[in-house]
């Protein structure tokens, strides 16, 4: 007999967090929550509406006026921004280039964390992001800090983009990933860092199946131990 647990997966961009989190959630029958999608959704809205985030007043109105819903669907989640499906739009380079600046905003983080904690309440979840083990779910039974070399992460994203007909050159992708990691790690509020009690998993030379199996093994151990 195993207990439903909370699993936090953090790490830098394109490390494989969401791919592995989805597989693990599906195998365990848990809810999968991609917190990056929430930061992307609020970024999309602020960009489109021309909000000046340097003004706490404008930022506050934007946050109070915005509804973000994550709807579980087969193989992942659908992202609704004020009721509109923005699952594709939030993956554009337009949003990717702006999201780390938005995610450094204290009011934005406060609101997103509140929503994320509510989504995770009282159920088995696999949540991926940058601050899940350190801030959002500090009591998670399993915390994993997943990484891979920046070259391998850029190569994976390049291959993924090719399938979506996105032609950003490999060197540009690597620079964008490194820049986003730097901003995410150096911000003042809830920076990207490994929680003290997280297991470090380097996936550079692991296949998707191997990485998922490593986390499944840890999840099974932790849920039985409860």
Ligand X SMILES: Nc1ncnc2c1ncn2[C@@H]1O[C@H](COP(=O)(O)OP(=O)(O)OP(=O)(O)O)[C@@H](O)[C@H]1O
Ligand Y SMILES: Nc1ccn([C@@H]2O[C@H](COP(=O)(O)O)[C@@H](O)[C@H]2O)c(=O)n1
Q: How far is the CB of 39 from ligand Y (least distance, A)?
A: 4
Paired strand residues for 31: 125
Q: Is 36 among the residues that bind ligand X (CB under 6 A)?
A: yes
Kindly tell me which of 2 and 47 has the beta carbon lying closer to ligand Y.
Answer: 47
- Interacting residue ranges for ligand Y, rule: CB under 6 A: 13, 35-36, 39-40, 99-100, 103, 129-132, 180, 184
Q: How far is the CB of 134 from ligand Y (least distance, A)?
A: 10
Q: Which residues contact 86 (CB under 8 A, 6 or more apart)?
A: 41, 44, 79, 80
Q: How far is the CB of 148 from ligand X (least distance, A)?
A: 7
Confirm whether residue 12 is marked as ligand binding. Answer: yes
Longest dimension (CA), the chain: 52
**How far is the C-alpha of 13 from the C-alpha of 5, rounded, in Å?**
25
Confirm whether residue 17 is marked as ligand binding. Answer: yes
Contacted by 224, from ligand Y, ligand X, none: CB < 5 to 8 Å by type: none
**How far is the C-alpha of 206 from the C-alpha of 185, rounded, in Å?**
24
- Sign of the dihedral through C-alpha 20, 13, 191, 115: negative
**How far is the C-alpha of 113 from the C-alpha of 68, rounded, in Å?**
12
Kindly tell me which of 12 and 124 has the beta carbon lying closer to ligand X.
Answer: 12
Confirm whether residue 11 is marked as ligand binding. Answer: yes
Q: How far is the CB of 21 from ligand X (least distance, A)?
A: 7
Q: Alpha helices of 53-131 — where are they, by DSSP H?
A: 56-64, 93-103, 106-120
**Which residues contact ligand X (rule: CB under 6 A)?**
11, 13-19, 36, 156-157, 160, 203, 206-208, 211
């Amino acid at each position: 007999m195993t207990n439903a647990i909370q699993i936090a997966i953090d790490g830098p961009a394109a490390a494989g967090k969401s791919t592995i989190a989805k597989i693990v959630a599906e195998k365990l029958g848990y809810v999968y929550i991609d917190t990056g999608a929430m930061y992307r959704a609020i970024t999309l809205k602020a960009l489109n509406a021309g909000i000046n985030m340097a003004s706490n007043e404008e930022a506050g109105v934007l946050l109070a006026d915005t509804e973000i819903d994550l709807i579980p669907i087969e193989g992942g989640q659908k992202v609704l921004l004020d009721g509109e499906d923005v699952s594709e739009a939030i993956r554009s380079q337009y949003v990717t280039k702006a999201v780390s600046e938005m995610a450094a905003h204290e009011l934005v983080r406060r609101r997103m964390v509140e929503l994320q904690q509510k989504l995770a309440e009282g159920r088995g979840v696999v949540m991926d992001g940058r601050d899940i083990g350190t801030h959002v779910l500090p009591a998670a039974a399993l915390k994993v800090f997943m990484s891979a070399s920046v070259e391998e992460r850029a190569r994976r994203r390049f291959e993924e983009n090719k399938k979506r007909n996105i032609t950003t050159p490999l060197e540009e992708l690597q620079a964008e990933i490194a820049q986003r990691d730097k901003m995410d790690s150096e911000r003042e509020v809830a920076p990207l860092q490994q929680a003290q009690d997280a297991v470090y998993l380097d996936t550079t030379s692991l296949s998707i199946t191997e990485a998922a199996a490593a986390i499944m093994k840890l999840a099974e151990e932790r849920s039985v131990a409860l």
